[in-house]
Structure 1
Amino acid sequence: MKPTVLELRHLSLRLQGKPLLTDIHLRLHPGRVTVLLGPNGAGKSTLFKCIAGDLAADGGIELFGRPRPLWPRRELARRLAVLPQQSGLQFPFLAREVVAMGRIPHDSRQQQNDHIVEAAMDRARVWHLRDAPYPRLSGGERQRVHFARVLAQLQGEDIPKLLLLDEPTSALDLGQQHLLLQEGRRLAAEGCAVLVIVHDLNLAARYGDHLVLMREGRISCEGGAERVLTPDNVEHHFGYRAQWLQSPQGHRVLV
Structure 2
Amino acid sequence: MTLVLQDLTVLFGERPVVDRVSLTLPPASLVALVGPNGAGKTSLLRALVGLVRATGTARLDGADLARMAPQARARALSYLPQGHEAHWPLPARDIVALGRIPHGASDPSRLRPEDSTAVDDAMRITGTGYLADRPVTTLSGGERARVALARVFAVGARLILADEPTAALDPRHQIDVMRALQEAARAGALVIAVTHDLGLAARFADRVVVMMAGRVEADGAPDAALAPEVLRRVFGVEAYRAEHGGRMVVVPWS
Structure 2 length as normaliser, TM-score? 0.92
The amino acid of 1:123's aligned partner reads I
Bigger mean CA deviation after superposition, 126-135 or 111-120: 111-120
* TM superposition shift of 1:251: 3.3
Who is 1:136 aligned against?
A: 138
User: SS state of the match for residue 127, structure 2?
Assistant: coil
SS in 2 for 1:54: coil
What is the CA-CA distance between 1:250 and the residue it aligns to? Answer: 4.1
1:81 aligned to 75, 78, 89, which one?
78
Q: Give SS of 1:42's match.
A: coil
Larger CA deviation: 7-16 vs 132-141? 7-16
Shift of 1:116: 2.1
Q: State the distance in 2 between where 1:16 and 1:77 align.
A: 28
| CA distance in structure 2 between the partners assigned to 1:91 and 1:212 by the alignment | 37
Cα distance, 1:43 vs. partner? Answer: 0.9
State how far apart, in whole Å, the 2-side matches of 1:94 and 1:53 are: 28
Aligned residue number for residue 37 of structure 1: 34
8 Å contact 1:102–1:150 — kept in the other structure?
yes
Please state how far the C-alpha of 1:23 moved relative to its aligned partner.
1.1
What is the 5 A alignment of 1:193-208?
Answer: 193-208=190-205
Shift of 1:65: 1.1
Gaps of 5+ in 2: 106-110
Amino acid at match of 1:122: R
Partner of 2:108: none
- Measure how far apart 1:252 and its partner are: 2.5
Q: Which amino acid aligns with 1:192?
A: A
- Contact 2:223–2:248 (Cα < 8 Å) also in 1: no
Q: Which residue of 2 aligns with 1:189?
A: 186
Residue 29 of structure 1: how far off its partner (Å): 1.1
Give the % identical residues.
Answer: 36
Amino acid at match of 1:41: G
Give the alignment partner of residue 14 of structure 1, picking from 5, 11, 14: 11
- SS at 1:60's partner residue? strand
Structural mapping, 1:39-78, within 5 Å? 39-78=36-75
Q: What is the Cα deviation at residue 246 of structure 1?
A: 2.9
**Aligned mate of 1:151, from 150, 153, 163:** 153
* Aligned counterpart, 2:247: 251
Q: Distance in 1 between matches of 2:39 and 2:182?
A: 25
> What is the CA–CA distance in structure 2 between the aligned matches of 1:14 and 1:75, rounded to whole Å?
26
Q: Distance in 2 between matches of 1:23 and 1:107?
A: 36
Distance 1:68 1:251, change over 3 A: closer
Paired residues of 2:36 and 2:234 also in contact (CA < 8 A): yes
8 A Cα contact 1:231 1:243, kept in partner: no
- Displacement of 1:87 after TM fit? 3.7
The code of the aligned residue for 1:103 comes to R
Corresponding residue for residue 123 of structure 1: 125
Deviation (angstroms), 1:176:
0.6
Residues 45-54 or 162-171, more deviating: 45-54
Cα RMSD, aligned residues only? 1.5
Shift of 1:13: 2.1
Contact 2:31 2:192 in 1 (8 A): yes
- Give, in angstroms, the shift of residue 71 of structure 1: 1.0
1:112 maps to which residue?
114
TM-score between the two structures when normalised by the length of structure 1:
0.92
**What residue in structure 2 maps to residue 221 of structure 1?**
218
Which letter maps to 2:8?
L
Other structure's SS at 1:181 match: helix
Aligned with 2:178: secondary structure? helix
Aligned-pair CA distance for 1:214 = 0.7
Q: Structure 2 CA distance, aligned partners of 1:142 and 1:36? A: 23
| Alignment deviations for residues 9-43 of structure 1 (CA, whole Å, 9 cap, x no partner) | 11122212222121110122110111111111111
Number of residue pairs matched? Answer: 246
SS at match of 1:152: helix
Q: What are the equivalent positions in structure 2 for 1:93-108 lying under 5 Å apart?
A: 93-107=90-104
Q: More deviation in 99-108 or 166-175?
A: 99-108
